[in-house]
Chains A and B, each alone.
Chain A
Amino acid sequence: MTPNRLPLLALPVMIGQEFKAWWYLLIVAGSSVFKNGFSWWAVLSIGAALLFIIGLAAVRYWRFSYLIDDTAVTINSGLFVKKVRHIPYPNIQTLSHQQWFFLQPFGLETLNIETSSKDGKEGAGTLYAVSTSVGQLIEAHRHHQPLSVTEPSETQLDESATPTFDARYQISARDLNLYAATSMGFLAILAALGWLWNKLDDVIPKTWQQNAFDQLAHLAVLVLVVFGILFLAVAVLISYLNLLQRYYHFTLTKQAHTLTATRGFFKRLEVSVRISRIQAVRMRQSLLRHWLHLTTIQALLASNAADEEKDNDLVLLPVIKADQALTRMHHFVDWVPATTPDFIRVPRTNHWYYVRNWLLWNLLFVAIISFVVGHFWPQWLLWTMVLSALWVLIQSLQGWYAAKNAGVSIIYAHTLLVQNGSLWNLTQYVVRRQNIQALSLNQSIWMTRKHIAHLELHIRRGDGNESVEVRYLKAETVEKILDWYQQR
């Protein structure tokens, strides 16, 4: 068979990708115009940067071809170094379909193929703007392929064309609204805005700046505060709208052994993953969402970029009432328990250790800051001390809260439920024994005497390791779990 080429519409998508990678070239070229006024050199450099970016995409487009046969997807690429990548169907961990709104009328979509290869990008392949039938073909191959030896628990089933779903969830407008409104994403945007502000400083001519500062100096503190609030409001709004468009019409479906999540307004994204490939299910509540009794459910996968926003984790349910989370998830992933089991919690007498540790670390942190402030700006020392005291108090409360919520529970003989609290999050993991890569019991010499131990388990996540720890449990609890893990 001769390899296929990408449709011409792939070119703009690839150019967009290159822009994402090289945009700072344009900024560098463009900023000189702002700074030094118009000159032909500046126009030339902008032109050169543009040409470079487009040229790069064009070369990649020209050298790219792919082939889909009975056993694997083969991707050829590279100008000087020719690269041929074979991705056998059983090795595909996740397949994601991305469809920009302008590709929809042509029935085209971008396919992202991910394997669990540790080499990150080498193990993955992207087919830009190919016909949707290509995706269907790959999916079909994927499902009819005999299962690999590493997944012995499954029997081979005929999954031919059953359009009915075993379970389906679609986000309601109210939930989507809640999800976007309770996100802490605005913090990142605030940081980005601050950065931009800083850059503007370099770009805008100094005379304008001087004028602006002269004007600002006349304004009262009140007006500055209003400005600050406005800044914050803009960040919150951007984050809110961004999440709305990203999770627009979020749908999760289960069909035989596969979960599929679909979402997005401008760019429709569809990610499908075999349930047996899910390493663990994670339920996470930020502080804000904890107060509102909401939780977000994600799947940890052994592949990259299942979801570009939440690092490597696939969002299964963006937001759900905490008390319904397990029940709802049980419909999709059957090894998740339907109800909250009884946790073996951290003994009340050990709560103090959490508070003590958080207290000590934060006291150290605060002491260093106070020292620096006292040395350079002694007039601010008092305020720093007051704020520090408040900070340490809040942190100690957090420690106590984390201690109160930490716990572990064995369910169904093969599954472990672990709950722990960190700085601003409360997290639950549901993980099967077969997906725990290693488990350890840690204790200091002093803890040995008091029969206290930490439990630590390692789960594959993306290319690396997610280690989950529950601290200061009773030693016998941890030993019991160690025995369970070793199947004694």
Chain B
Amino acid sequence: MQTQLPAQIQTVWRLRALIDGLLWVILAVGFFIAHLLWSWPWWLIAVALGLGLLHVGSHLILIPYRYAFWRYQISPDDVVLQSGFIFRKTEAIPIARIQNVTLEQGPLLRGQHLQSVKVQTAATTHEIAGVEESVADALREQIMQLAKVARDDA
């Protein structure tokens, strides 16, 4: 019953980690220029690169574990999401509380033909990180249909 995310989501996560790494590199380059121009201490560059390596490295290492743990489940009563690896989260959102379902697709997701599904309640937003485009449409339909039934029943 519990569904795993498509395997392509790992590629998206890896790309995201690399983009994060790029930001650290840009910061390090900035420090390098500042070092040349105003002779800022050189260790700032080392710190930026070190932190960047740590950040990206830990992300990349954890991706398979995160992927293995991520699950979603949609039943007539609720949507249950399970995410994270080191810090784990199991969220339950009753279908009757759902106000809105939004599909989103950035360039990274589009590259892998995935879409993220955002489920909104009156107070919070919850996200299924990525599913195949065809599945996303079906999920939205399914959730909205269930939500309608849940409201009519209640």
Q: Name the CB-closest residue of B to A438.
A: B93
For chain B, residues 75 to 115, give those with C-beta under 8 angstroms from any C-beta of chain A: 77-78, 80, 85-94, 96-97
| Most chain B CB neighbours (cut-off 10 Å) among A116, A440, A442 | A440
Q: Mark B117-133, 1 if CB is under 8 A from A, else 0.
A: 00001111010000000
Chain A contact residue count (CB 8 A cutoff)? 28
B88 in contact with A442 (CB, 8 Å): yes
A445 to B66, CA, bound (A): 12
**Contact assessment for B122 and A486 in the assembled complex, using a CB-CB cutoff below 8 Å:** no
- Cβ–Cβ contact B121 & A438, under 8 A: yes
| Nearest-CB residue, chain A, relative to B79 | A438
Interface size on B, residues (CB 8 A): 22
**A437 near B121: Cβ-Cβ < 8 Å:** yes
Q: Which residues of A contact B151 (CB under 8 A)?
A: 149-150
Tell me if A164 counts as interface (CB < 8 A to partner B).
no
In the assembled complex, which residues on chain B have CB atoms less than 8 Å from the CB atom of A459? Answer: 123
For residue B96, which residue of chain A has the nearest CB?
A434
Interface SS majority for chain A: strand
B1 is an interface residue with CB less than 8 A from chain A: no
Of residues 180 through 223 on chain A, the ones whose CB sits less than 8 Å from some CB of chain B are none
Complex Cα spacing A486 to B96, Å: 11
Residue B37 is within 8 A (CB to CB) of chain A in the complex: no
Highest count of chain B CB atoms <10 Å: which of A436, A437, A485: A437
Q: Name, among B90, B94, B122, B154, the residue most crowded by chain A CB atoms within 10 Å (CB to CB).
A: B122
Distance in angstroms from A476 CB to nearest chain B CB is 14
A349 contacts B by Cβ under 8 Å: no
Does the CB pair B92–A464 fall under 8 Å?
Answer: no
- Which residue of the partner chain B has the closest CB to A478? B90
Q: Which of A446-488 contact B (CB under 8 A)?
A: 448, 458-461, 464-466, 482, 485-487
Residues of B within 8 Å of A150, CB to CB, are 151
**Also in contact, A438 and B85, with CB within 8 A (given A149-B151, A486-B77):** no
CA distance A438 to B124 in the complex (A): 8
A441 to B121, CA, bound (A): 18
Are A440 and B91 within 8 A (Cβ)?
yes
Q: Can you list 16 A-B pairs with a CB-CB distance of less than 8 A? A: A152-B154, A436-B97, A437-B121, A438-B91, A438-B121, A438-B123, A440-B92, A443-B88, A444-B88, A445-B86, A458-B121, A460-B122, A465-B124, A485-B94, A486-B78, A486-B94
Q: What is A's interface to B at a CB cutoff of 8 Å?
A: 116, 149-150, 152, 302, 434, 436-445, 448, 458-461, 464-466, 482, 485-487
What is the interface of chain B, defined by CB distance below 8 A to chain A? 77-78, 80, 85-94, 96-97, 121-124, 126, 151, 154
